Amino acid sequence: MPFSKLGLSDPLLRAIAEAGYTTPSPIQLQAIPAVLNGHDLLAAAQTGTGKTAGFALPILHRLSQHASGANRPVRVLILTPTRELAAQVGESVSKYGEHLHPRLKTEVVFGGVKINPQMMRLRGGVDILVATPGRLLDLVSQNAVKLDKVETLVLDEADRMLDMGFIRDIRKLIALLPKKRQNLLFSATFSEDIRKLTTGLLVNPIKIEVAARNTAAETVEQIAYLCNKANKAELLCHLIKTNDWQQVLVFTSTKHGANRLTEKLNKIAIKAAAIHGNKSQGARTSALSGFKAGDIRVLVATDVAARGIDIALLPHVVNYELPRSPADYVHRIGRTGRAGEEGQAISLVSHDEVGALRLVEKLIGAPIKREQIVGFEAADVAPPMPPEPPRAPRPPRNSSQARRPSGNSNNKPRPARGNV
């Protein structure tokens, strides 16, 4: 079904055509009519599915159907977990609304930068406000903005907002909204906490679930290079050079690790920049734009900082370390192979991460190809997923196993053997 059949106005269809979209993505097909009809929405969808246009287009359509009040109160509030996602959502909303007449005003506010310029920008009123929860509460407490005319609330990446500890801020903000409003909630995962939040929030929501694009992963080639921990930096340099990768997003598990790797890459003239929570907003923005422009070849990021980064057609994503949670692996590799293009998700897996790799395979329901690169072979890595061994009978209570002191418990990570 083409976009033109979904009931969107001509100025929006024009913006869609200019963005180069020809057919709606599955989530757009379901979300656009539901939101146009004023329903609440509970959508299981992650970045890369086209969810932003899925809510932004029908919201813009509805808003432009009737004029704003005299002092332009906030009529749509979009909450996001990170500054980057807020900025990107704001950009998308402005882009899709470009041809609407009269124009709708969109503003983006987030923490980590001075509050005063944001207060100034809010002064003339805005129709659509995209915000991170903490900064918005600050602005409300300073009377810079009122939320009592909000018609539609969007919680984008709700699971991440809860992970980042925003639940109390979200609840405080919801208390400031009119009781009667439309609520749209997007989340990649549905934990007990999300369920609790949705129960009080959504009224007869339309439920939408789109397959996490990359669990199917037809367009993403996934490879795990088994290697020694100490050789990871050299292996990464080798891969970048020999394959002549020009744009690589690399994930590390810590900010410190991101900095160290960035320094190493820059030392051997592979231009790299790090993006993580300790970087100033200016540094993050310039790293991201340098990366998008091709001036920076390798962007090294932590999971939180990278969440929501929207870079079209990223060809290579590298897990320098596997994430602690297998769901994060799916989020990470969701950055590549977009829009039907081929992408590659590479994981550098050392001995102590083989367990984590198996958990990822369990989650995505498929084995990940394991390879080794000559000169960087793992000294001591367990073989690929062996078939599940038959369950051993429980040892008798008085066996030597049962009497083992707890310090030797099998649950504790063992120190790595050799230099792995």
Count the site residues for ligand AMP by CB under 6 A.
Answer: 15
- What is the number of other CB atoms lying within 10 angstroms of the CB of residue 399? 10
CB of 312 to ligand AMP, least distance (A): 5
From start to end of 104-261, where are the E strands? 106-109, 128-131, 152-155, 182-187, 206-209, 220-226, 248-251
Query: CA separation (Å) from 211 to 26, 47, 158, 186, 399?
Result: 9, 12, 18, 14, 48
Give me the torsion for CA of 76, 94, 89, 37, rounded to 10°.
50
Taking CB under 6 A as the rule, does residue 50 contact ligand AMP?
yes
Distance CA 281, CA 415 (A): 38
The SS3 of residue 300 is strand
> Among residue numbers 57 through 86, which ones bind ligand AMP (CB under 6 A)?
none
Element (H, E) at 193: helix 192-201
Measured from the CB atom, is 11 or 334 closer to ligand AMP?
334
- Structural tokens at position 286: 């310039």
- Structural tokens at position 31: 């979300």
Return all residues near 238 (Cβ < 8 A) that are at least 6 apart: 373, 375, 376
CB of 77 to ligand AMP, least distance (A): 18
Measured from the CB atom, is 169 or 310 closer to ligand AMP?
310
Q: What are phi and psi of 193, to 5 degrees?
A: -65, -40
Query: CA separation (Å) from 405 to 392, 399, 412?
Result: 21, 13, 12
Instruction: Tell me the per-residue interface mask from 304 to 333 with ligand AMP, x by CB under 6 A, - otherwise.
Output: ------x-x---------------------
Measured from the CB atom, is 51 or 332 closer to ligand AMP?
51
Q: What is the DSSP letter of 351?
A: G
Taking CB under 6 A as the rule, does residue 293 contact ligand AMP?
no
Instruction: Tell me the per-residue interface mask from 236 to 255 with ligand AMP, x by CB under 6 A, - otherwise.
Output: --------------------
Distance CA 281, CA 339 (A): 29
CB of 93 to ligand AMP, least distance (A): 11
Measured from the CB atom, is 25 or 152 closer to ligand AMP?
25
Exactly one of 8, 15, 25, 133 binds ligand AMP (CB under 6 A); that residue is: 25
- What is the number of other CB atoms lying within 10 angstroms of the CB of residue 142? 11
Distance CA 224, CA 226 (A): 6
Q: Give the binding range for ligand AMP (CB under 6 A) out of 42-50, 73-81, 158-166, 235-243.
A: 42-50
Measured from the CB atom, is 53 or 226 closer to ligand AMP?
53
Exactly one of 34, 40, 44, 51 binds ligand AMP (CB under 6 A); that residue is: 51
Taking CB under 6 A as the rule, does residue 52 contact ligand AMP?
yes
Measured from the CB atom, is 25 or 182 closer to ligand AMP?
25
Exactly one of 29, 30, 44, 47 binds ligand AMP (CB under 6 A); that residue is: 47
Q: Give the binding range for ligand AMP (CB under 6 A) out of 45-53, 62-70, 193-201, 233-241.
A: 45-53
Taking CB under 6 A as the rule, does residue 17 contact ligand AMP?
no
Taking CB under 6 A as the rule, does residue 97 contact ligand AMP?
no
Taking CB under 6 A as the rule, does residue 21 contact ligand AMP?
yes
Exactly one of 12, 44, 53, 224 binds ligand AMP (CB under 6 A); that residue is: 53
Measured from the CB atom, is 23 or 408 closer to ligand AMP?
23
Measured from the CB atom, is 260 or 292 closer to ligand AMP?
292
Q: Strand order in 152-155's β-sheet? A: 106-109, 128-131, 76-79, 152-155, 182-187, 41-44, 206-209
Taking CB under 6 A as the rule, does residue 339 contact ligand AMP?
yes
- The residues that touch ligand AMP, with contacts defined as CB under 6 A, are 21, 24-25, 28, 47-53, 310, 312, 338-339
